Amino acid sequence: MRRLTLVRHAKSDWSLPGQVDWDRPLNKRGQRDAPEMARRLRSRKLKPDRMISSPAVRALTTASVMARELKVAAMQVHQDERLYLASPADMLAVVRELGGDAKHLMVLGHNPGITEFANQLSASEHIDNLPTCGVFTASFDIGDWRDLVWESGQEAEFDYPKNHP
């Protein structure tokens, strides 16, 4: 069994006129939500052994904060430009190619692709929207990430910052 956790980057700052989309930083809410969502994952014993993030500032910052909170070594946090505004098919290719021997893989990306990816992977659970810093996780009965296929995710769980337990 393998576990895949998908995370949409935390809330970003739109206040700087002329800011290039790639360079947008997290706003105050995003800086608060990222460690909170990591703590929720940790409380459920969901610690990835490898993380792959879009290198856009808002996604990479979210990945760095979550890695710190989850105590994932920096050398296990990877970047792949294909995840920036990626389609579900592109995300699937990244996971198959870079998942390696990770038992629990975390991928950080952007909407609409990350929501569509979660929905296409899940065998049953479907979500309307993965909000900023939202987390979708599921198990897959595969021995290798290269074998990941659509609609094979089991025991899917969905959480987001405004979902107060």
| Integer Cα distance of 156 and 165 in angstroms | 17
Beta strands 2-8; 104-109: pairing state = parallel
Domain boundaries, the chain: 2-8+24-139+149-159
pLDDT digits 0-9 by tens, 32-65: 999 999 999 999 999 999 999 999 999 999 999 9
pLDDT digits 0-9 by tens, 82-102: 999 999 999 999 999 999 999
DSSP E strands: which ranges in 46-153?
50-53, 77-79, 104-109, 135-140
pLDDT digits 0-9 by tens, 2-32: 999 999 999 999 887 788 989 999 999 999 9
Mean pLDDT, range 122-147, rounded to an integer: 95
pLDDT for 164 beyond 80: no
Q: Quick check: helix, strand or coil at residue 160?
A: coil
**pLDDT value at residue 15:** 83
Task: Quote the CATH superfamily of domain 2-8+24-139+149-159.
Answer: Phosphoglycerate mutase-like (3.40.50.1240)
**pLDDT value at residue 19:** 83
Record the pTM.
0.96
Average pLDDT, the chain: 95
pLDDT for 127 beyond 80: yes
| Integer Cα distance of 92 and 80 in angstroms | 13
